[in-house]
A and B are shown apart, each in its own frame.
Chain A
Amino acid sequence: ETGVTQSPTHLIKTRGQQVTLRCSSQSGHNTVSWYQQALGQGPQFIFQYYREEENGRGNFPPRFSGLQFPNYSSELNVNALELDDSALYLCASSPSPSTRYEQYFGPGTRLTVT
């Protein structure tokens, strides 16, 4: 196991609603990245937080936002949910933002938007 946990495991929301997904990183890891995995695709980078500040963002609209807290927990918030937001959301922590370090993934949250 990677020591990274995510909650909830599954979630069903209605189009237009808002959702918050949570991640608990490994202790000591100051970097967390969030990914969206649609069916048949590899994980796609949403954004990264380093020491509680956003440290890079992928091609996702501003209704995707995040927070990172000093206790190694973090959140992904999605406003005005759309049907295409249905996907598996993964968080991954690492001891540094450098990509020479491996990332430690959680098991993901499966979001279904109806």
Chain B
Amino acid sequence: ILNVEQSPQSLHVQEGDSTNFTCSFPSSNFYALHWYRWETAKSPEALFVMTLNGDEKKKGRISATLNTKEGYSYLYIKGSQPEDSATYLCAFPHSGNTPLVFGKGTRLSVIA
């Protein structure tokens, strides 16, 4: 059974704080890792698809790193804002043609 673990489960930070959270996945047969942001009452929105060990991707104040050998990815948010409040999901497929397996998400609340 393929397990994708995310930690912490939830996080409360003050506006302006930087924060990070983790996605762990099986390190064998890596193909890709997805990060999504899901705001309440909206559609999950793709942030990054990462495919190479050592990948670093950035979108505004959000960045992600990938370590396929040890099986983890970090998502960083610099200078958190209230609009960053959302659930952040990672998802991992066994291969190019197998479905995405999602973690349970990290729920971030940014307090103004």
Contacts and interface: CB of A to CB of B under 8 A. Distances in A.
B is bound to A: yes
Interface of A: 1-2, 4, 33, 35, 40-45, 48, 56, 58, 90, 92, 97-108
Interface of B: 4, 31-32, 34, 36, 41-46, 49, 51, 89, 91, 93, 95-105
Main secondary structure of the interface of B (DSSP, over half): loop
A101 B49 contact: yes
Nearest to A94: B46
Contact of B43 (A1, A33, A48, A101): A1
Given A105-B43, A107-B42, 14 more contacts: A41-B104, A42-B4, A42-B103, A42-B105, A43-B44, A43-B102, A56-B99, A98-B97, A99-B98, A99-B100, A100-B31, A101-B49, A104-B43, A105-B45
Nearest to A97: B97
28 contacts: A1-B43, A35-B102, A42-B4, A42-B89, A42-B104, A42-B105, A43-B102, A45-B99, A48-B99, A56-B97, A58-B99, A92-B44, A98-B96, A98-B97, A99-B93, A99-B96, A99-B98, A99-B99, A100-B31, A100-B49, A100-B96, A102-B46, A102-B49, A103-B100, A104-B43, A105-B36, A106-B43, A107-B43
B26 to A, nearest CB: 15
Contacts of A101: 49
Nearest to A33: B99
Main secondary structure of the interface of A (DSSP, over half): loop
B102 A104 contact: no
Contacts of B102: 35, 42-44
Top 5 nearest A-B pairs by Cβ distance?
A: A42-B102, A102-B46, A45-B99, A99-B93, A105-B44
Contacts of A106: 43
Contacts of B101: 45
Given A41-B104, A42-B104, A99-B31, A104 B46 contact: yes
Nearest to A102: B46
Contacts of A4: 43
